Structure formats: structure tokens, C-alpha cells
Structure 1
Amino acid sequence: MTDLDDAPTVALIDDHPAVLAGLASWYGAADPPVRVLASGSDLAVAQDGPGREADVVVLDLQLSATGPSYDGLRQLAEDGRAVIVYTMLDATDVALTSLDLGAFTYLTKAEGARHLVAATRAAAQSLPYTPPALAGAFGSDTRAGRPVLAPREVDVLLEWFQCESKRMVAQSLGLSVHTVATYLDRVRIKYANAGRPAHTKALLVARALQDGLVALEEL
């Protein structure tokens, strides 16, 4: 039996009570389960009380009838939270903008329990997760703002995606750990300067997928 104290935890933000109840049911039925610490219809769910301690925040991007609101996502991401955008909106520009603002991943509500639970587990462990809708958005991304990476920066980046540590990357490529860290810092700086920050490994994977540096099957 799984120790619930070790289970991933989540805060749910959605303005439809039926959706919140359904998500709680999915997480409770998962094997092993995911613990819902708090749920409700506004950002305070993740900022106050038990929700502050949640590993992952699941956020409905459309909490009003006026269209997607990115302010809440931006605020949570700036606070260092792992945010899964979970929405009815299946739109490439919305998905990519969400990632650019710091979302861990983007799921449509049509993608169901399997992808949501898997994405939540991945987010809790800072591991990349790309559901079908997001993969489609990556494939159709034609926006400008892609930084120009040097060939060695790309080599180090892709090797890092396959390794558990910078030390392993250094051993594989015949570099020092310091040099590997320097290359990765340069890549992050270039993405930040392009207005697409990537503070975590998971976000760097997302950027590399967006920009065609790596294919899903390679991960």
C-alpha cells in the first residue's frame, strides 16, 4: 500500500464545482493516488492555507467568460509553482503562450484522467510531460523569437536531457562539469533574452521541443 504522506499533492483551481469534484475523483482513484490539498475557484486556493504546500497547481486558464486570463498563471509561475494549465481551450497560441509564461505543461479537458494524472506525477518530480494537444501545438509553432544556439550548446542541451546529472553529461562529452553548467547557463540566458525564460529542466525540454531541437520520440 502506498504511503499517502509520500504521494504527490495538488491544488485545483476551476470555477466549475462539477469539474473540481471530477478531478478529485480521478486523483483519488489513481494508483498510487494523488492527494488534493485544496480546491476552489480563485488563486487564493494555491496561495493560502494547505494549497500553499501543494507540489502542483492545476489551473483552469478561463475563470471568466472574457477569454483566457494569463495573469494568474504568470503570478504562480513567478512564485516558482509547478502549474498545469487544464482548459477547454484547444488553441496553439494559447498553449504556447502558457508555456512561455512558465506553465509546466498544457492539457485540454478532452484529454482525460490518464494524461492529467501522468502530468501531475511528472510535474511533482520536475520531469517533462507533453500530452497530445501540446505536441500538436509544438508542431505548428511558426512564431519568431527562437534564440540562435551554437552547435556545442545544442550538443550539451540534448545530452543533458538524456542524463540524470551534469556530471554524467561532462563524462559523456569529455567536458568539465563547470563547462557543462556554463553552456546550459548560456542557453537559459538566450531564451530569457528572447522573452521565453526556461528556469527549469522541464521548461528547457519544452523550449527544445517547440524549436525543433529534439523530437518527442528522442525523449
Structure 2
Amino acid sequence: MKTQSAVRSCRVGIVDDHELLLDGLTMYMRSNAPDLDIVISATGWFELIRHPAFAPDVVVMDLQLQEPIPIETRVRTCLAAGALVVVVSALETDEIRERSLAAGASAFVPKSSPADAVLDAVRSTWADAQERGAFVDAELETLRLYADGLSPVDIGLQLGLSFEVVKGHLSRIRDHYAASGRPTHSKQDLIRRAAEDGFVS
């Protein structure tokens, strides 16, 4: 007899333009965090967002990348696509920390910290999202438009998101309900579950 529903592992993307650090953190996570599924390991911003697995659940993002794109823009782009963000940085000033968190990052981890601090930050970020029992804003907006009858293509055009990102939002929402023992086998099932939880009227 099934006593509890399966909990989906957290899908993680890592972006750092220092390949040695990127490879080290990626290998460490894969060896020490079976609950974290590393789906992207990228050396640059554009490589991250163009990856077929974007957007993951959580992005571990180096503050300083070679591309001249402000951290605020990068964090907000991830949030809009449905990914939470943990910022890691060799710069450890209060100003940098506050700037990252003000942009919407869920956590800030200095690079002088042990690797386990990154794992803890990712797990805490993911656990907080799961405990809220809700979805990030971009996922909620996708869900509401989908319930209103828009197709994934139309939703993407309206929100300025790619078709793959919209599909990813809907997939994560379905995964959430499946993990909680409330599967959605059809669009009608999904809308019914969302209405039960007050996400759509």
C-alpha cells in the first residue's frame, strides 16, 4: 500500500564563468545531493537561458559573469521564467548582498563558504517554495491564462516567454499536483485542481 506521495527532486541550473569552479560545484552536488537534479551547467548567461532545460526550479548564479548584464536583470529574467535564484559571489559586501536580494534572489552565498552552504541555500529555497503550496508568479499567470482558454503559444506571446518556458510552467504545475497525490490527467483536471486551491476562479 502506498503510504506517501513521491516528492519531485529540485531541478537545478548552475551558471559560473570559471569552469573549474563550475565543474567542482556540479560534481559536488551530483555526488552529495541526490535530492538535487543538476539539469544545466553553464559557463555564461546566454548559454543558461538558451539551454533546453531552462527554466529549472532553482538557478545557482555567479554574481559576476562575462556578459555585461546587471544581476538585477538576470535575476528578474529567471523569476519571470519560473526559476528561483541563489546568488553566489566572490564579493561579500553588504551592498552586494542587499542588491542581490532586492532584485529577488532567494539567497546569497559568499564563495568563501563551503560547498554545503550552497546546497543548504538551494534546499531551503526549494523547501520554502514547496511549503507555500503555491507557484511562482510566472507560473500562476501562465495557469490563469491557460484556464482562460489561451493556448501555450498565445500565453507565450502575451507574457513574452518562449513556448518551451510556458510548457515548462505547466509541466511543473502538473508535477506539483501529482506529487501531492492529486494528479491532473487533462486540462479540465488541472483547472479543477487550481480552482480548488483558489488559484483560478
Q: Counterparts in 2 of 1:46-85, with a 5 A limit?
A: 46-64=48-66, 69-85=71-87
State the structure with bigger RCO (CA 8 A, min sep 6), 1 or 2. 2
Q: Counterparts in 2 of 1:181-192, with a 5 A limit?
A: none
Contact kept, 8 Å, 1:10 with 1:35, in 2: the verdict is yes
Aligned to 1:182: none
Aligned to 1:11: 13
Q: Counterparts in 2 of 1:1-219, with a 5 A limit?
A: 6-64=8-66, 69-126=71-128
Structure 2 runs not aligned, ≥5 long: 1-6, 134-201
**Secondary structure at the counterpart of residue 83 of structure 1:** strand
Q: Distance in 2 between matches of 1:43 and 1:66?
A: 10
Contact kept, 8 Å, 2:57 with 2:82, in 1: the verdict is no
Aligned length: 127
Judging changes above 3 Å, is the alpha-carbon distance between structure 1 residues 39 and 72 closer, same or farther for their aligned structure 2 residues? same
Structure 1 runs not aligned, ≥5 long: 129-162, 166-219
Partner AA of 2:8 in structure 1: D
* Structure 1 residue ranges, 4+ long, deviating more than 6 angstroms after superposition: 65-68
Q: Distance in 1 between matches of 2:69 and 2:81?
A: 23
Contact kept, 8 Å, 2:71 with 2:103, in 1: the verdict is no
CA distances 1:172-215 after superposition (whole Å, capped 9, x unpaired):
xxxxxxxxxxxxxxxxxxxxxxxxxxxxxxxxxxxxxxxxxxxx
**TM-score normalised over the length of structure 2:** 0.54
Q: Distance in 1 between matches of 2:79 and 2:98?
A: 15
Judging changes above 3 Å, is the alpha-carbon distance between structure 1 residues 53 and 71 closer, same or farther for their aligned structure 2 residues? closer
Judging changes above 3 Å, is the alpha-carbon distance between structure 1 residues 124 and 54 closer, same or farther for their aligned structure 2 residues? same
CA distances 1:145-187 after superposition (whole Å, capped 9, x unpaired):
xxxxxxxxxxxxxxxxxx978xxxxxxxxxxxxxxxxxxxxxx
% identical equivalent positions: 25
**TM-score normalised over the length of structure 1:** 0.50
Quote how far apart the aligned CAs of 1:127 are: 5.2
Q: Distance in 1 between matches of 2:33 and 2:24?
A: 16
